Structure 1
Amino acid sequence: MGRLFGTDGVRGLANELLSPELALRIAGAAAETLSRPGTEHSVAVLGRDPRASGEMLEAAVTAGLTAAGMDVINVGVLPTPAVAYLTGVYDACLGIMISASHNPMPDNGIKIFAAGGHKLEDDVEDRIEAAMEIGNPPRPTGAAIGRVRNVHDEAAAKYLARLAEAVPARVDGLTVVVDCAHGAASEIAPAAYRAAGAHVIAINAEPDGLNINDGCGSTHLDQIRRAVVEAGADIGIAHDGDADRCLAVDASGAIIDGDAIMAVLAIAMAETGELAHNTLVATVMSNLGLHIAMRAAGVAVRTTAVGDRYVLEELRNGEYSLGGEQSGHVVLPKYGTTGDGILTGLRLLHRMGQTGKPIAELAGVVQTLPQVLVNVRVSDKAVVAAHPSVAEAVSAAELRLGDAGRVLLRPSGTEQLVRVMVEASDTETAQRVADELAGIVASV
């Protein structure tokens, strides 16, 4: 069996790959690994999104934690960033979120946070997997068995209060359409935006356990684009199933991606001195247009590998205050330990209110360059990606493109593919250079 943990916890088809038996074992091993030594009843925070299989997996995870002697604070249906935040608030030694994020309903996942709500390091995940392999740990009995406390309303109120702290001024007068993806944000996102003063039109906010992410949310933006135009709203904000993402739509229905969102926030924070070291952290997938915009604004950009865990690592190591991904994961470490879509949306609304400018004008600082991606199937992706002829071809292409373009060549994380991505000032040039490089990759 390969490594169980992926880039964001354990995820798969619920009741098949992610069975209740596996969930129980993961929870038990996590409790054994992360419990505080000498503490009779360590505490875990547990939340979930509203997909149907979450009820089954919640029961299994609760059984695994309590069987290991750990008390469970069940916060109910809340976004992933809420569970991370509440893990710290309740001084828990771990937090577990049951969600498959933007994946379709049949899937589910288990995300584990360490004390303070931080994502697990690789070595901790390895220790949990090792504990699962050993199996059959000693089990407490009697009063030593863990207990469960349900704090759904209390937990939601604590998270809403934290979100309110992140908005320095009210946003009265703004009309926002919020696409909740029939997910974990269905109640709390509209409540948070209304509390900030916005007039809120909520769509896809009626979860039935089966409709999460179904043609809606941050991965399906057609509905919110139409809704914003029809309502004459100032902005649309789209979340995914567990609300750790935020993408936006301007008044005309044009999409504002994570790169543009980060640019808006970076410039705002630079003006107020909140942008630590005057630096934004982004991944290699961010468009060159973001880099050009930040250069013009006097903001440095630190680049990481793809994945929010690498963004988080760089934020911690460099003590930076803003980072994220093109997909809409945006992290503000002052207010949270992971990407928070609602927090991001609130900060966008605040910037609009602060400047009196429409979101289209604010986001317009980023002129996205045309991007072409070609996937080349190979026999050994590592060998091909490191081949001297490929490196020479990439260097030559970069020299031709100069400051007006960019080449990114990387092996797929899951398949025998090498991904060739080229950005250039026009689509024709990007396509031509990408095809040339793909041909060289294929010939190795």
Structure 2
Amino acid sequence: MSIAKIERRLFGTDGIRGIANRDPMDAATALRLGQAAGRYFSRGEHRHRVVIGKDTRLSGYMLEPALTAGFIGAGMDVVLVGPLPTPAIALLTRSLRADLGVMISASHNPFEDNGIKLFGPDGLKLSDAQEAGIEALMAADLSQGLAGPATLGRASRLKDAPGRYMEAAKASFPKGRSLEGLRIVVDCANGAAYHVAPTVLWELGADVVSVGDAPDGFNINKECGSTAPARLAELVKERRADLGIALDGDADRLVLCDEQGRIVDGDQILAVVAGSWKRQGRLQGDTVVATVMSNLGLERHLQDLGLRLERTKVGDRYVAERMREIGCNLGGEQSGHLIMSDFATTGDGLIGTLQVLAVLVEEKRLASEVCRCFQPLPQRLVNVRVPDGAASPIAHVQVQEAIVAAEARLGRSGRVLIRASGTEPLIRVMAEAEDEALVVETVEGLAARIRACAAAEAGAVTDGKKGRQKGASDATGQLVTAA
């Protein structure tokens, strides 16, 4: 069977993700993934090596040994580094000359979920073709390709892994500068950066107030971190801090909070860094790469600076791929993934923070002045849950007609974006335009149509199944502000 024709079942937009101890996020699948990925990346006669890191979820203790057993069975040596940010795993994969890097994390999801992200020897997330190749091996007979008793791999722990990452992060901050005199609140989301992020900021001279730094296996992302920054905003004002930082569970993305308690999203952070690097002559190609979710306000702001915004589909790995294709060194997502290829191969919340702090230090201005680069256009996002077993309602003729009508109403002053989530059973409905009332009306109308079609599809699927009510659906939408 041709790999190109294989439909990826396990891999989404950011690796494999699911409920812990349920297929596909169970020990059996993790073991088989280790065996398949080990075979896929075992090329050449050298001793093969894989780096495995994780965040602070309880289920990491289940998945880590299962993956380790799979890789050892494939003849790979395993280097275990414990809880560290995702970008640290990408860094260590390259610096240790490993063949593969693995991060066990479900990013911003609650503790019940977990995930597995893979990095190639270059520290880059795998391409669609590579993921399809691994899935093909998982579906085949692996028994013939595993190592013999004398060629099994070995496992060891790298004790200085946190220090290696922290030194690399500090090296991204301008030489000769410090954070002395700045008070910074950092919310580590009870996740992978609970130790390294506060330590780096303190070693650079800041007065650090650290929260979300006491993981217990269950509290990762719980009412904290980049998806719940309200507590951070209050604490910034209460402690009269100069800046607040909220990371997610694996610390590959961030949102900021200025001294007035206002949240700063990834689009504004991209604008800050792009403007600074443009003035310094460091921005390659006068281009910033972002996804289709980024606000039109960012695009217009960059145009005013003589810069171009290149858009990709959602997923930071697609941003990174496009950056490499066009020779660009800055990209990211509105959600807070910031990819700065001068320093890292993947999104890095800590390094992104340090680049904004460098601007504050260099320009001696308040965060509220630096981090509000443009006025976002009104933008709204609703998530519509797709019932189990139901097909995506996006292609439904009624949904398509509603989309065409919505686009005609918004005209050139706005846009509509409907997409299926790559990590959750959700349809994301987004619209933006200069007229906020029209945006809200458009999103609510489209969400209602999608919700109705999803419920009808669920009814068709479950009709006649014992114990289930015809038409039952948990499809719900939550209106959130993305601007």
TM above 0.5, one fold?
yes
In 2: Cα distance, 1:45 partner to 1:435 partner: 45
Residues 51 and 89, structure 2, Cα contact 8 Å, conserved in 1:
yes
1:100 paired with 2:106, answer yes
Pick from 77, 82, 87 the counterpart of residue 76 of structure 1: 82
1:140 paired with 2:147, answer yes
Pick from 91, 101, 105 the counterpart of residue 85 of structure 1: 91
In 1: Cα distance, 2:336 partner to 2:69 partner: 34
Deviation at 1:398, TM superposition (A): 4.2
Deviation at 1:304, TM superposition (A): 1.1
Give the aligned residue type for 1:115. P
Pick from 343, 355, 368 the counterpart of residue 360 of structure 1: 368
Paired position in structure 1 for 2:394: 381
In 2: Cα distance, 1:418 partner to 1:342 partner: 30
Paired position in structure 2 for 1:33: 40
Deviation at 1:277, TM superposition (A): 0.9
Deviation at 1:411, TM superposition (A): 3.8
Q: Secondary structure at the match of 2:11?
A: coil
Give the aligned residue type for 1:127. G
Closer/same/farther in 2, CA of residues 65 and 440 from structure 1, 3 Å limit: closer
1:145-173: CA deviation from partner (whole Å, max 9, x where unpaired)? 11112113x21111111111211132221
**Equivalent residue runs for 1:199-278 within 5 Å:** 199-278=207-286
Paired position in structure 1 for 2:308: 300
In 2: Cα distance, 1:220 partner to 1:441 partner: 27
1:197-231: CA deviation from partner (whole Å, max 9, x where unpaired)? 21111101011112111111111112111111111
In 1: Cα distance, 2:427 partner to 2:36 partner: 36
In 2: Cα distance, 1:380 partner to 1:36 partner: 43
Closer/same/farther in 2, CA of residues 144 and 366 from structure 1, 3 Å limit: same
In 2: Cα distance, 1:364 partner to 1:201 partner: 23
Q: Secondary structure at the match of 1:253?
A: coil
Deviation at 1:136, TM superposition (A): 1.8
Segment of structure 1 superposing worse, 359-368 or 370-379:
370-379
1:363-415: CA deviation from partner (whole Å, max 9, x where unpaired)? 2212122123467899852354995x66763553343xx4xx31123242479
1:396 paired with 2:404, answer no
Q: Secondary structure at the match of 1:117?
A: coil
In 2: Cα distance, 1:124 partner to 1:298 partner: 37
1:24-74: CA deviation from partner (whole Å, max 9, x where unpaired)? 1101100000112223x2011111111111112111111111111101111
Pick from 182, 195, 218 the counterpart of residue 174 of structure 1: 182
Paired position in structure 1 for 2:433: 424
In 2: Cα distance, 1:2 partner to 1:11 partner: 13
In 1: Cα distance, 2:259 partner to 2:125 partner: 36
1:62-106: CA deviation from partner (whole Å, max 9, x where unpaired)? 111111110111112110000011100000010011111111111
Pick from 1, 4, 10 the counterpart of residue 16 of structure 2: 10
Segment of structure 1 superposing worse, 140-149 or 339-348:
140-149
Give the aligned residue type for 1:396. A
**Unaligned residue ranges in structure 2 (runs of 5+):** 1-6, 454-483
In 2: Cα distance, 1:361 partner to 1:47 partner: 38
In 2: Cα distance, 1:354 partner to 1:306 partner: 33
In 2: Cα distance, 1:277 partner to 1:426 partner: 33
1:220-274: CA deviation from partner (whole Å, max 9, x where unpaired)? 1121111111110000000011000110011111110111111111101111111
Residues 280 and 323, structure 1, Cα contact 8 Å, conserved in 2:
yes
Q: Secondary structure at the match of 1:367?
A: coil
In 1: Cα distance, 2:312 partner to 2:43 partner: 32
Deviation at 1:427, TM superposition (A): 1.8
In 2: Cα distance, 1:185 partner to 1:60 partner: 24
In 1: Cα distance, 2:197 partner to 2:373 partner: 27
In 2: Cα distance, 1:419 partner to 1:58 partner: 32
In 1: Cα distance, 2:232 partner to 2:217 partner: 21
1:51 paired with 2:64, answer no
Give the aligned residue type for 2:358. H
Q: Secondary structure at the match of 1:173?
A: coil
Closer/same/farther in 2, CA of residues 435 and 238 from structure 1, 3 Å limit: closer
Residues 382 and 411, structure 1, Cα contact 8 Å, conserved in 2:
no
Segment of structure 1 superposing worse, 429-438 or 167-176:
429-438
In 1: Cα distance, 2:225 partner to 2:450 partner: 36
Segment of structure 1 superposing worse, 369-378 or 28-37:
369-378
Give the aligned residue type for 1:148. A
TM-score by length of 2: 0.85
**Equivalent residue runs for 1:54-69 within 5 Å:** 54-69=60-75
Percent identity between the aligned chains? 43
Residues 390 and 440, structure 1, Cα contact 8 Å, conserved in 2:
yes
Closer/same/farther in 2, CA of residues 30 and 264 from structure 1, 3 Å limit: same
Closer/same/farther in 2, CA of residues 145 and 437 from structure 1, 3 Å limit: closer
Give the aligned residue type for 2:228. H
Deviation at 1:429, TM superposition (A): 3.0
Paired position in structure 1 for 2:477: none
Paired position in structure 2 for 1:288: 296
Give the aligned residue type for 1:65. F
**Equivalent residue runs for 1:115-130 within 5 Å:** 115-130=121-136
Closer/same/farther in 2, CA of residues 68 and 322 from structure 1, 3 Å limit: same
1:328-370: CA deviation from partner (whole Å, max 9, x where unpaired)? 0010011111100011111111111011111111122121221
Pick from 327, 338, 345 the counterpart of residue 335 of structure 2: 327
Closer/same/farther in 2, CA of residues 35 and 285 from structure 1, 3 Å limit: same
Q: Secondary structure at the match of 1:115?
A: coil
Segment of structure 1 superposing worse, 300-309 or 178-187:
300-309
Pick from 151, 162, 181 the counterpart of residue 158 of structure 2: 151
Give the aligned residue type for 1:130. A
Give the aligned residue type for 2:431. V
Give the aligned residue type for 1:109. G
Deviation at 1:19, TM superposition (A): 1.0
